[in-house]
Amino acid sequence: MSSNLSTSPCYQGDGLKERADSNDIVIRVSNLSKCYQIYEAPRDRLKQFILPRLSRLAGRAPKQYFREFWALTDVSFEIRKGETVGIIGRNGSGKSTLLQMICGTLNPTSGVIQTNGRIAALLELGSGFNPEFTGRENVYMNASVLGLSNEEVDTRFNDIVAFADIGDFIEQPVKTYSSGMMVRLAFAVIAHVDADILVVDEALAVGDAFFTQKCMRFLRGFMENGTVLFVSHDSGSVKNLCTSAIWLEKGHQRLNGSPEEVCNAYLEKSLQDVYGEKFTLGKIGDQPREILAAHKTIKNKTIIDYKTKALSNGNLLLATGWKTGMAEVVSVSMVKVENSTSPEFEGGERVRVVIRAKAIGALSSPILGFILKDRLGQELFGENTVPATHGGHSLVGAGQEFEAEFVFRLPMLQNGEYMMMVSLADGDTLNHVQHHYLHDAMLITVYSSKIKFGIVGIPFEFVSLAIDSGPAFSIGSREPTVNK
């Protein structure tokens, strides 16, 4: 990797000064814009090519035979080495255009793009492949474009084929491939070119579950040292994988910040667009998320127990989200079904979550629900009241209060903090309006010395190891236990 940012001649701009920490910046985008010329008819393109020149020769102001479409307007950001940045936005917002310009396959109308290091890109399906070439030929062609010599490809070819796992199709023309096979081969190439920057444009959504898991394992390993820039419509993936996120809307940069902040703002705006003028979503809270004072005081508490210990506390005063003013959540609580006075929870016990709400206006089919999320925003589990009402009407009058109760067995959780999202909607599963949405209505702090693997744990009743003609080892009992 060179010590200075490399700038393609077509990306030259005025007045950009190198900073002292430029070695740490791998992508710098400054005032980037892209304009397309849209012609109503093919003949207008010919007119634009000829007539303006004749007009200028005649001393007249030239006429324009196209309309301008600005796919991107004045976008600026910096990405440092080791960061993973997600680009979110609706279709047509300029996400793919931005990635193509960063990769150098599309020239900007104005602005500066500077990159530092080798870029490997997986853009739109089939890009970079010649459909008439075989998979083998496309591997060599694509890898050479990314900077590898034939000798380097020779040494990595077997690994590329093994990663793609498409069998004998490697010797067949790419035009015979399914979309999933094409993604497999394309990702296999970029995974073996020793890139510094990896750019992915929603392509992994095409692959099957097994290959997606393989790609995710590669990405997590790559993120330890490399830089990743990717487009996704899955906010859960953005929150889980990214260190920051950028929201594009109609070619403009709406927000650049933490994944949770950006994704939550994008979700709110998307719902507002769906509701239109019928309901207005009012923002709730602008405080940064922080650990409640009640939990800070027990940070250093030593719990000598092999089970999970959890503490919950309502967080309505600090919760962020939105509401329409038609109804609101007034309280959220979680208690044990047995011994409800204890403030601590252990994994595997039965608990009761109660959400109480008030209707400001009449509601025809109110829905109360919750989702528990980890600190990365991954959704662990949740439920709503639709199954209880069987999707039928349950009219609530203006000013009337109502309550939802959920009883379940609390799973064992890893150490850390978990937030409970709570929502109040009106309608059915497919067609409803979110009248009150709270991202962090309750905070649950977990202290665990039991969970070793995965996100959640379950209480195993029996584990054994038996050796033929040898000893047997076991713990627990096969006999089913009766839950109290």
Cα 242 from chain centroid? 7
- For the CA atoms of the chain, what is the radius of gyration? 28
Question: Alpha helix locations (H) across 191-304?
Answer: 209-222, 235-241, 259-275, 293-296
Residue 449: what pLDDT? 60
Are 370 and 406 contacting, i.e. CB atoms less than 8 angstroms apart?
Answer: yes
Kindly report the number of other CB atoms within 10 A of residue 109's CB atom.
15
Average pLDDT over residues 316-328: 85
Report how far residue 227's alpha carbon sits from residue 219's, in angstroms, rounded to the nearest whole number. 10
Q: Which DSSP letter does residue 185 get?
A: H
C-alpha angle 73-75-80 in degrees, rounded to nearest 5: 165
Report how far residue 346's alpha carbon sits from residue 411's, in angstroms, rounded to the nearest whole number. 8
- pLDDT-based confidence at residue 300 (cuts at 50, 70, 90): very low
Report how far residue 217's alpha carbon sits from residue 56's, in angstroms, rounded to the nearest whole number. 59
Report how far residue 186's alpha carbon sits from residue 137's, in angstroms, rounded to the nearest whole number. 12
String of DSSP letters for 334-356: EEESSSTT-SEEETT-EEEEEEE
Q: What's the mean pLDDT when you consider all of the chain?
A: 81
Report how far residue 54's alpha carbon sits from residue 70's, in angstroms, rounded to the nearest whole number. 27
- 285, two tokens: 């809270």
Report how far residue 413's alpha carbon sits from residue 313's, in angstroms, rounded to the nearest whole number. 16
Q: Which one, of 33, 123, 17, lies nearest residue 69 by Cα?
A: 33
Tell me the pLDDT tens digit for each residue of 420-463: 999 999 988 888 889 999 888 888 888 766 666 777 777 677 77
pLDDT over 90 (residue 85): yes
String of DSSP letters for 73-137: EEEEEEEETT-EEEEE--TTSSHHHHHHHHHTSS--SEEEEEE-S-EEEE-STTTT--TTSBHHH
Report how far residue 78's alpha carbon sits from residue 259's, in angstroms, rounded to the nearest whole number. 16
Domain architecture of the chain: domains with CATH: 6-117+196-263 (3.40.50.300), 278-457 (2.70.50.60)
C-alpha angle 357-363-365 in degrees, rounded to nearest 5: 95
pTM above 0.95, yes or no: no
Tell me the pLDDT tens digit for each residue of 209-256: 677 777 878 888 888 889 999 888 778 778 878 899 999 999 999 999
pLDDT over 80 (residue 190): yes
